Amino acid sequence: MSPEGSLSIICREMTLLAHQERDLPPVFVESQRPGRVRPGGVCFPTKMNVYTVRITTYFERGFKMLDQDLKRQLAEVFKPINAKIELVYDDCQHDKQGELIELLQGVAETCHHLELRKSEKVSPMPSFSLYRDGQTTGVHFKGIPGGHEFTSLVLAILNTAGLGKLPDQALARRIKGLKRGLKVRTYISLSCENCPEVVQTLNQFALIHGDLTHTMIDGEFVQEELTRLNVQGVPSVFVDNELIHVGKSSLGELLGKFEEKFGLPDTDAQVAPSDLGHFDVVVVGGGPAGAAAAIYSVRKGLKTALIAERIGGQMLDTKGIENFTSVPYTEGVELSAQLDKHLRAYPVTVLEHRRVRLVEKAEGIRHKLQLDSGEFLVTEALIVATGAKWRELHVPGEKEYLGRGVAFCPHCDGPYYKGKRVAVIGGGNSGVEAAIDLAGICSHVTLIEFNDKLKADAVLIDKVKTLQNVDIISYAKTKAIAGDGKTVVALEYEDRHTGESRKIDLDGVFVQIGLSPNSTFVKDVVNTNLHGEIVVDPRGRTSQPGIYAAGDVTTTPYKQIVIAMGEGAKAALAAFEDRMRAGA
Ligand SMILES: Cc1cc2nc3c(=O)[nH]c(=O)nc-3n(C[C@H](O)[C@H](O)[C@H](O)COP(=O)(O)OP(=O)(O)OC[C@H]3O[C@@H](n4cnc5c(N)ncnc54)[C@H](O)[C@@H]3O)c2cc1C
């Protein structure tokens, strides 16, 4: 189990709770990064009431019981609970049963509305369920939710009490529109960083739906079941013996998949698509560009909506951020929570967990947006800030070691590899530039190109060839990224001349095979370049009057947070200026 991971997840959830106006007190912190946060000190609420929370958990310290600091923090988080919530565990002879009871007892002690009791059932492995006011909720855990899943337990308790961040009404209606009687199971491992979001989302499905159950199952306890089901990655979501989903996911994506398989066509959710109204400005995208655009627009007094699959965008996939000017160190989840908090401090209509599917021209210069959910809305000005995705290699090890040896952003993550051996995959301009940059930081860089020669500009190729600590391997196909369970240790590739497999021992791999802008849904409406980036002028205007774009989805160079924020602000100001000039 990675203490750092559970720390950051608890940190994220605590921050999310704080930004929902729940008054969390300052909490005790112990620095993860010596010198940056005062050890044992308290962290301070900012003006916006966002707390920077770094909790030292018992997991981090290797304690089996909840320590006093964590109990105090849980007591504060659970303070608003106003319903009887029972943690009901099954009878079990497993030698880990004591550990489960100890954990649940520790949690129950933090709030007088929480009660621990034994069920009548017998189970071969430690397991328990959540009840509210004597009724089962459909939320079950098989295993001991420590590690990354501890937050899933905390959130499940809060959500059972009707607290915490729950899906909005329209999403709840869609969840209720799923078939009755579904028994959903998610196989997880306690060291998996992508599992809690899936577990927490499906727990919310169970709580909202009323006739759907969700069970988190720690794979460690059910090895034979994993083999029988051929589970090869976590989180793996099953309904009966059918695999519904594997890997990282968001509420929007999971709901879409469930609706596809288990949606009931004649429910409220499917009846006539809902009209979300008419706005002055609609921003698509909830990353730094979109958030800045929405805040600047609403501050001009414009009726503004923001639609996003996930608030924070790529920042949610980023661990340490050290170049967000004026903030020496923060983490992606923390900065995303602050972005969310800042957005919601204004009357912006935030439509989260939704995708825009289509942009159509409406009457005059208005635009009509169709969402995946079936909802639609009309706007005078549209700001597209849908960002981009790094192109992936799709080889074994890439996803598993993301952030633990696999990196996509040399500007961001290069300094973490100081004095280490790395490979850069991709011999285009970005790959060769990355190799040159990293050669100044790392002890050795291997640049790997799929074709027989590098494709970068000649000046870059000349430069990289002069560097003593850079080796270039051409005509090589990356086959796998190998790790030791914690971090990357080697890269395997095929020599395309001979077909032989080769291995390089190293500490990190930077994938530089390009960015893929999320512009498909507007590509027929605005001009894009060869790479799919939306072409913008210096004010963020696109080829289509009334449509603006900002951030990584555009032709603006250098894909970075501060740049995306600036561009988002600029596009909003341009939209406002054009509106003034048009006399609206
Ligand atoms: C691993 C990693 C580490 C990084 N580290 C750093 C760093 O340390 N410092 C730095 O400055 N930069 C860093 N970056 C780059 C930085 O995160 C991006 O430049 C920045 O997030 C771009 O912001 P954006 O708002 O343009 O797009 P994104 O952050 O990509 O946000 C796009 C938004 O659009 C939404 N969206 C997409 N399509 C749709 C749709 N059809 N409908 C509705 N919503 C949609 C997404 O859900 C998201 O909310 C890193 C990137 C990665 C991947």
- C-alpha atoms less than 13 angstroms from C-alpha of 350 in its C-beta half-sphere: 24
| Dist. CA 552 → ligand 1 center (Å) | 7
Give the per-residue pLDDT at 29. 32
- Please give the structure tokens belonging to residue 93: 């002879």
Ligand 1, atom 19, residue with closest C-alpha: 560
Kindly state the DSSP code that residue 430 receives in the 8-state scheme: H
Residue 169 contacts by C-beta under 8 Å, 6 or more apart in sequence?
none
Flag the least confident range among 18-27, 303-312, 407-416, 449-458: 18-27
Q: Which atom of ligand 1 is nearest to the CA of 568?
A: 25
Residue 159 φ/ψ, nearest 5 degrees: -65, -35
d(Cα 93, Cα 252) in Å, to the nearest integer? Answer: 39
Give residue 320 CA to ligand 1 midpoint distance, Å. 15
Range 462-486 average pLDDT: 95
Instruction: Locate 455 and state its tokens.
Output: 């494709």
pLDDT of res. 6:
37
Dist CA 244 CA 252 (whole Å): 14
Ligand 1 centroid from CA 187, angstroms: 29
pLDDT band at 90 (very low <50, low <70, confident <90, very high): very high
CA 89 to chain centre: 31
Mutate to test the pocket of ligand 1, among 412, 533, 567 (most ligand atoms within 8 A of CB): 412
- Measured in Å, residue 319 CA sits from the centre of ligand 1 at 13
Q: Which pLDDT belongs to residue 534?
A: 98
Per-residue pLDDT, averaged over 90-110, amounts to 95
Q: Which atom of ligand 1 is nearest to the CA of 286?
A: 49
Determine the 3-state secondary structure of 552 from DSSP: helix
Give the count of beta carbons closer than 10 Å to the beta carbon of residue 107.
22
Tokens 């250098």, located at residue: 558
The first and second tokens of residue 547, run together, are: 């449509």
Q: Report residues whose beta carbon is within 6 angstroms of any ligand 1 atom.
A: 284-290, 307-310, 313-315, 317-318, 321, 323, 355-356, 385-388, 390, 408-409, 412, 518, 521, 551-552, 559-562, 564
Hey, what's the torsion of the CAs at 147, 148, 151, 153, to 10 degrees?
Answer: -70
304 pLDDT exceeds 70? yes
Q: Does an H or E element contain 555, and which?
A: none
Tokens in use for 349?
């209509």
300 alpha carbon, distance to own chain's centre: 30
Please give the distance, rounded to the nearest whole angstrom, from the Cα atom of residue 416 to the centre of ligand 1.
20
- The rounded distance, in Å, linking the Cα atoms of 232 and 248 is 14
Atom of ligand 1 nearest to the CA of 554: 26
Question: pLDDT confidence of 22, banded at 50, 70, 90?
Answer: very low
Residues contacting 288, CB < 8 A, separation 6+: 313, 315, 339, 551, 561, 562, 564, 565, 568
The model's pLDDT over 350-404, given as tens digits with 9 standing for 90+, comes to 999 999 999 998 777 789 999 988 899 999 999 999 999 889 999 999 988 877 7
Maximum mean pLDDT: which of 65-69, 483-487, 578-582:
578-582
What's the Rg (C-alpha) of the chain?
25
Q: Which residue has the higher pLDDT, 40 or 226?
A: 226
Residue 515 Cα to ligand 1 midpoint, Å, equals 11
Angle formed at CA 91 by CA 85 and CA 94, multiple of 5 degrees: 120
Q: What is the pLDDT at residue 43? A: 31
Nearest residue (CA) to ligand 1, atom 20: 561
Measured in Å, residue 457 CA sits from the centre of ligand 1 at: 27
| Closest-lying ligand 1 atom to the alpha carbon of residue 357 | 41
**Interval 190-197 mean pLDDT:** 81
Q: How many residues does the chain have?
A: 584
Residue 271's pLDDT band, with cuts at 50, 70 and 90, is low
Ligand 1 closest atom vs CA 386: 34
* Phi and psi at residue 377, to the nearest 5°: -150, 160
Among candidates 114, 69, 50, which has minimal Cα distance to 87? 114
**What would the pLDDT profile of 272-297 be if each residue is shown by its tens digit?**
568 999 999 999 999 999 999 999 99
Cα of 318 from ligand 1 centre, angstroms:
10
Pocket test for ligand 1, best of 276, 282, 318 (most atoms within 8 A of CB): 318
Cβ atoms of 559 and 566 closer than 8 Å = no
Answer for the pair 520, 359: CB distance below 8 angstroms, yes or no. no
Q: Which residue bears the tokens 């300052």? A: 26
**Torsion 462-463-465-471 (CA) sign:** negative
Of 56-65, 327-336, 543-552, highest mean pLDDT: 543-552
CA of 337 to the centre of ligand 1 (A): 14
Distance of CA 249 from the midpoint of ligand 1 (Å): 16
